[in-house]
Amino acid sequence: MKKKIATIAMTLALATTALPGAQAQAGQLTDRIENGKSIRIGFANEPPFAFPDANNKPAGYVNAYVLGVLKEMGYDNVETVVTDWGGLIPALQSDRLDLITGGLYILHSRCENVAFSEPMAKVSDAFIVLPGNPKAITTYKDLAKSGETMVTGIGYSLIENAKKDGVPASQIMEVPGPSEMLAAVIAGRAAAGAHSYLTLKDMAGKAPGKVEVTDPNALPDWTKNWVSVGFRDGDKDFVEKFNAAQKKYLGTPSMMEAVKAYGYDKNMLPGDQTAEWICANR
């Protein structure tokens, strides 16, 4: 699904690009922009990170943030590409989109295939469970000991987290996205659904009285993750420019106003860790 949401004149290349060593070699995205083409942002239907609104325009706090940074850079010629979560990185690699705005966590395993911008949020894992938490699940270790099934999304980083804490693959159910996770827990096919705390709050709000969200602070610190924007490895010149604009925009009143409707607040600001450090340590 694609929808053009705005147009802008082609940006002019800096004169310094002709100087040897003046800046990184122009990548595919820079060439695309200079040829008057749109920037294609890709995401799945994953509220509140990113999702298409009723008019098929990009919504969610990562999309709102990225559009703000691109505007800071002078770009607003943007197309949206909505796909399944598991298809985002393959779509980036096969040139069907230019940026992943779906709420990717920076992970060592992903850094081999994706060039990440500096982080824009820090988030925590949690679970949705039936009211009263009858299986007493608040951590991955609880799941491992109980033998109960955990449901999460196909390709989600929470699968790695669960396995790291002893949950075998046989106890992990993978489904396309949040709506299927919610249905699995309500129907009793899974004892817990794993996702980010903010997403689970959104899910629980859509099913009042049917599920509750566990305390994210029960999980160890290593389960906390940083959200970033994903680019092709060959577009590191654009990533550098994006990071420079992000540094000016992150945490400003304008940025906080753009994302507050999606639950993002100052407690989610990413702190001082760099994408390089996170790639090496997550």
Instruction: State the pLDDT confidence band at 15, using cuts at 50, 70 and 90.
Output: very low
Count the alpha carbons within 13 Å of 215 in the hemisphere toward its beta carbon.
5
pLDDT band at residue 38 using 50, 70 and 90 as cut-offs:
very high
What homologous superfamily is domain 32-120+228-280 in, according to CATH?
Answer: Periplasmic binding protein-like II (3.40.190.10)
Question: What is the DSSP secondary-structure string of 72-123?
Answer: HHT---EEEEE--GGGHHHHHHTTS-SEEEEEEE--HHHHTT-EEPSP-EEE
Mean pLDDT, the chain, integer: 90
| Beta carbons of 114 and 234 less than 8 angstroms apart | no
Residue 270 predicted with pLDDT over 60: yes
Higher pLDDT, 213 or 22: 213
> What was the pLDDT predicted at 25?
65
Q: Is 218 helix (H, G, I), strand (E, B) or coil?
A: helix
* Per-residue pLDDT at 18 exceeds 60: no
Q: What is the DSSP letter of 8?
A: -
pLDDT for position 1? 40
Q: List where CATH 3.40.190.10 sits in the chain.
A: 32-120+228-280, 124-224
Question: Is the alpha carbon torsion for 40, 45, 49, 54 positive or negative?
Answer: positive
Least confident among 9-23, 111-125, 194-208: 9-23
Q: pLDDT at residue 5 above 90? A: no
- The domain defined by 124-224 carries CATH number 3.40.50.1000: no
pLDDT at 53 > cutoff 70 = yes
Check: CB of residue 39 under 8 Å from CB of residue 4. Answer: no
Tell me if 124 sits within 8 A of 223, measured CB to CB: yes
Q: What is the spatial distance between Cα 231 and Cα 253, in angstroms, rounded to a whole number?
A: 26
Cis upstream peptide for 48 (omega within 30°): yes
The residue written with tokens 């980010």 in the block is 196
pLDDT at 7: 32
Determine how many CB atoms are found less than 10 A away from the CB of residue 171: 19
Q: Which residues, at least 6 apart from 62, have a Cβ–Cβ distance to it below 8 Å? A: 43, 49, 50, 101, 102, 103, 120, 121, 227, 229
